[in-house]
Structure 1
Amino acid sequence: MVPFFLSGIASVLNAKLVNIDQIIKTVSIDSRIIGEQCLFIALKGSRFDAHDFAAQAVNAGAKALLVSRYLFLNVSQLIVFDTRYALCQLGAWVRRQSTSRIVAITGSMGKTSVKEMTSSILHNCGKVVATYGNFNNDIGVALTLLRIQKQDDFAVVELGSNSFGEIAKTSELVSPHTALINNISYAHLSGFRTLSGVSRAKGEIFIGLSMIGRGIINVNSHDWLSWRHLLCGRSVWRFSLKFTSNVDFFASDIVFNIDRMHFVFHTPQGKSNISLPLLGYHNVSNALAAGALSMSVGASLSDITKGLENMNGLPGRLYPIILDKGKVLLDDTYNSNIGSMLAAVRVLQNMPGYRVIVISDMLELGVDREVIYHYKFGKNIISISNINMVLSIGVLAYFIGKGSGRGKHFFDKSSIVSYLMCVLVKYKLVTILIKGSRVFSMDSIVQELRRRWLC
């Protein structure tokens, strides 16, 4: 983080400074995690008020507090009207002090994968700061910006949302040199209602883009007519899984293996053979996006090749687990929406042996359409793939199995694990894909299945 004095930052935050001035070197919103010369920021949510934990933060070593009301504690305090807004302004201030090249990423799916790929590439070019996990709301974005130090060369920032205006806000905080919309798909429809609404929300990323910045767009999934006015006067790069006219980055000679994808990566600097240790055509597309982002801020084709090939698999995101010879478990339990479900199904259909998908409900599809979306998805499974069995858990997932005509519904996870154990014993070659929204904790099925198989 860029150090600052409380007195110096008070005017930026329109804050009142109480007690002595202090130099601040770290910031925390968690009273249990206090660093050197730390400012504790007391955020207030719908179910908590961190002002109640300010004393704990001081006892842990916090040198100052950012609060929305004076607290009777013998410590320096910056008093503001809204601590969450002040946190964002503080992040934006640090961003203005930085000379780092900053890229911003949004999209309906693949944001975190692209972020990790981009970080892996840029680590070959210099020092990199990136969003932790998927902490991509305004709080997460501000905390990412606060981690930027003067010696950092790059920052890779993921922007997410489930309501209009969120990405516009965070994009303006970040003010990126390059902004990517990885794709648009049916996600968070309870907030956005339609695919057009999703497009409008994702397009907000270009609002904060520098006037000399660059937008990056997926030719296979975009809404150019709605976004072009936001990119007026700015450079645009386009990527696609296949070559088409007016494309800057594309793939050819894609080969699907059991644990990786091989392809030729075509760029404005030339082409390179890539062995990507991730599964799925969607991850080839993610790699193209990451390569474009990285090249836009100075990475070479050699940097891109090295970064992509040294990627680690991402647990919960089509992570392959070899249970035994001929028996593969695909852990895709991180999250679930229609787009990521389709991507996972396409991976499964290319895997060997008897193919089983285990699924839970997809959330935030809108209460008036969610049953229809699940049923139609079930019908699509059979039309686009060769999956043998669909196992479901959850009220809505039942309709996926019903639509597929190959469904078996369960009411508890232990029964699913027992059934899968029988499948593993029965078939010499078998691939099991486990997919679901985070609230269903489908990763527990992965863990229990591994434990029981090894036993």
Structure 2
Amino acid sequence: MISCNLGQLADALNAKLCLSNGDSDLITIESVSTDTRNIKDNGLFIALIGERFDAHDFVQQAIDNGAKALLVERELAVQVPQLVVGDTKLALGQLGAWVHAQCNTPTVAITGSCGKTTVKEMVAAILSQKGQVLFTNGNFNNDIGVPLTLLRSTPEDDYAVIEMGANHIGEIAYTTQLAKPDVAVVNNVAAAHLEGFGSIDGVKQAKGEIYQGLSSGETAIVNLDSQGDAYWQQVLADKKVVTFALENTQADIFASNIKLSSAGYASFTLNAFGNQLRVQLGIVGGHNVSNALSACALALSMGADLEEVASGLSQVANVKGRVEVKSLTDSITLIDDSYNASVPAMLAAVDLLGEFKGQRWLVLGNMAELGKESLALHQQVGEHAAPFKFEHVLTYGNDAKVISQVNNGKHFTSHDEMTMYIEQLLSSSADETHTILVKGANSAGMFKIANALKENFS
């Protein structure tokens, strides 16, 4: 974060500045936190109000932990300076946008139904070869996480790569106006968060909001394999549109000669604006070819060249819980993809497991926020898996049960029972090769299965 004083912040936020005896509006602020346990030097604590909490009740803890000032919605009886605003959540966004604007950093914005975190990591890996990159940590991609990411901006940043998620219409419109990107992409559109969006058309509308943050003439990256149709036409009319697709040669950027190694690593020929280069991905999964093309389009639009793209893509590391491949023993490989799940990500996971030999374990938990379409979409995953004839199909969660039913698998109502079953069969067939893929929504808790296997077999 850039260093600023309370007077500057009060002006930027149009806030009322309340000073205690002896305080000055020139007090320096060098960090911001919304967590009382994570107050850094010269820190400002922002008291957010949620459905189940009011951080105003805990400001004394923030002060005890070193907060130099507070951002609050009402003046409190405490002995530190306070910036009083009407809504601390909106003020957090304003503050993030203000700090980021002071740094004037060329910015990439990424959204999509799935793969956006992987694309973010890919773009950051490519651009880091050219300079210093600010990028989203973990899943800080919502209306709280994006402002916190922007607050980390410094003048030394050469690029910013901002991931934007949403579970309702209007959220990305808000965060993209804060970031004001130079280049933006909707990585794909699929059935995800349907409870909040209402339908696939709602998803198209919501994801397309990211292009609203682009000024006229700036670059919009569009996936020809997954478009927003009429929902995006008006907003894209005055933008420079760059297209990518998996194998559609009409796109500006596409792949050809795709190959998958026995360990699941993809390589392909990258075709970009008439130029070609062979690319080897550093993470597993054929579905990541499309993510790589998206990252390529973004990075090229930010000034990278093809050699930098290929080098960066080869160096991308696995993100914890996202297609994380780990050899538990000489004969047991775990593919931990337990972080989250959408329909296209589930289908891609099934395809990935199908590339392996030996005993193949498809271990799936519920997908979440699919509304009234949930059971039918789980059925779709089950039917997609059926032709592979996996040796073991295990499920957890009410709607996921249909997947094991379609595949003559086994359903469980507790993580412990599922873990015990897997471990017993692995122990009784130690002379065989096993590949275990674990995936599900965060709410399904499939990370518990993955973590137990790592602990018991590593």
TM-score (normalizing by structure 2): 0.94
User: Aligned residue for 2:412?
Assistant: 410
Percent identity (aligned): 43
Question: What is the deviation of 1:269?
Answer: 7.3
Q: Secondary structure at the match of 2:95?
A: helix
Amino acid at match of 1:193: G
Aligned match of 1:29 in 11, 31, 34?
34
Which residue in the other structure is 1:176 paired with?
181
Q: Which one is further off, 248-257 or 167-176?
A: 248-257
Which of 435, 438, 443 is the equivalent residue of 1:439? 443
Superposition map of 1:29-108 within 5 A: 29-108=34-113
Residue 10 of structure 1 corresponds to 10
8 Å contact from structure 2 (residues 264, 285) kept in 1: no
Q: Structure 2 CA distance, aligned partners of 1:356 and 1:40?
A: 47
Q: 1-side partners of 2:389 and 2:244: how far apart?
A: 29
1:376 aligns with 2:380: yes
The counterpart of 1:428, out of the listed 423, 426, 432, is: 432
2:233 aligned partner: 228
Shift of 1:429: 2.7
Q: 2:283 aligns with which of 278, 287, 296?
A: 278
What residue number does 1:311 align with?
316
1:323 aligns with 2:317: no
Secondary structure class of the residue paired with 2:293: helix
Task: Quote the Cα distance in structure 2 between the aligned partners of 1:8 and 1:405.
Answer: 62
- Measure, in 2, the Cα distance between the counterparts of 1:243 and 1:371: 32
Query: By how many angstroms is 1:286 displaced?
Result: 0.7
1:386 and 1:272 map into 2 onto residues whose CA distance is: 36
Out of 280, 290, 294, the position equivalent to 2:299 is: 294
2:302 and 2:172 map into 1 onto residues whose CA distance is 22
Aligned match for 1:208, one of 210, 213, 235:
213
CA contact (8 A) 1:65 1:76 kept: yes
1:360-390, Cα deviation, whole Å (9 max, x unpaired): 1111110x3322322233123214x342331
Provide the residue aligned with 1:364 in structure 2.
369
* Residue aligned with 2:328, SS: strand
Aligned pairs for 1:250-289 within 5 A: 250-257=254-261, 258-268=263-273, 270-289=275-294
Q: Take 1:276 and 1:103, find their aligned partners in 2: how far apart are those partners?
A: 21
Q: Shift in Å at residue 422 of structure 1?
A: 4.4
Cα distance between partner residues in 2 of 1:243 and 1:90: 42
C-alpha distance in 2 between matches for 1:313 and 1:38: 32
In 2, Cα distance between equivalents of 1:448 and 1:15: 49
Deviates more, 1:113-122 or 1:438-447: 438-447
Q: Do residues 141 (structure 1) and 146 (structure 2) align?
A: yes
CA distance in 2, matches of 1:322, 1:59: 45
Kept in 1: contact 2:74–2:84 (CA 8 A)? yes
Match of 1:395 in 2: 398
* Structure 1 residues 135-155: Cα deviation after superposition (integer angstroms, max 9, x where no partner): 111111111111110111110
Instruction: Report the 3-state secondary structure (helix = DSSP H, G, I; strand = E; otherwise coil) of the residue aligned with 2:162.
Output: strand
Q: Indicate if the aligned counterparts of 1:259 and 1:320 stay in contact, CA closer than 8 A.
A: no
List per-residue Cα deviations over 1:131-175 (Å, max 9, x = no partner): 110111111111111111011111010111111100001111111
Shift of residue 112 of structure 1?
Answer: 0.6
SS in 1 for 2:67: coil
SS in 1 for 2:144: helix
Q: Distance in 2 between matches of 1:314 and 1:372?
A: 30
- SS of 1:138's partner is coil
CA distances 1:49-82 after superposition (whole Å, capped 9, x unpaired): 1112211212222111111111111111111111
Separation (CA, whole Å) in 1 of partners of 2:170 and 2:456:
47
- Give CA-to-partner distance per residue, 1:311-361, whole Å, 9 cap, x none: 112221111122333432211100012111011011111112222201111
Give the C-alpha shift of residue 415 in structure 1.
2.6
Report 1:236-255 matches (<5 A). Answer: 236-245=241-250, 247-255=251-259
Shift in CA distance, 405/386, structure 1 to aligned 2, threshold 3 Å = closer
Is contact 1:259-1:277 (8 Å) kept? no
Per the TM alignment, residue 100 of structure 1 is displaced from its structure 2 partner at its CA by: 1.0
TM-score by length of 1: 0.95
Once the 2 structures are TM-superposed, how far is the Cα of residue 259 of structure 1 from its aligned partner? 4.6
**Is the 1:121–1:294 Cα contact (8 Å) retained in structure 2?**
yes
Equivalences for 1:187-202 in 2 at 5 Å? 187-202=192-207
Partner residue of 1:109 out of 114, 117, 121:
114
In 1: Cα distance, 2:289 partner to 2:433 partner = 26
Aligned AA (1:414): D
Select which of 414, 419, 422 maps to 2:421: 419
For 1:18, the aligned partner's letter is: C
Whole-Å separation in 2 of the counterparts to 1:312 and 1:405 = 33
- Cα deviation per residue 1:30-58 (whole Å; 9 max; x = unaligned)? 11212222111111111111112211212
Equivalent in the alignment of 1:354: 359
Q: Give 2:198's aligned amino acid.
A: R
Distance apart, 1:412 and its partner CA: 2.1
Distance in structure 2 (CA, Å) of the matches to 1:136 and 1:313: 18
User: Over residues 7-45 of structure 1, what are the superposed CA-to-partner deviations in whole Å (9 max), with x where a residue is unaligned?
Assistant: 122132121111121221111111121222211111111
Unmatched segments (≥5 aa) in structure 1: none
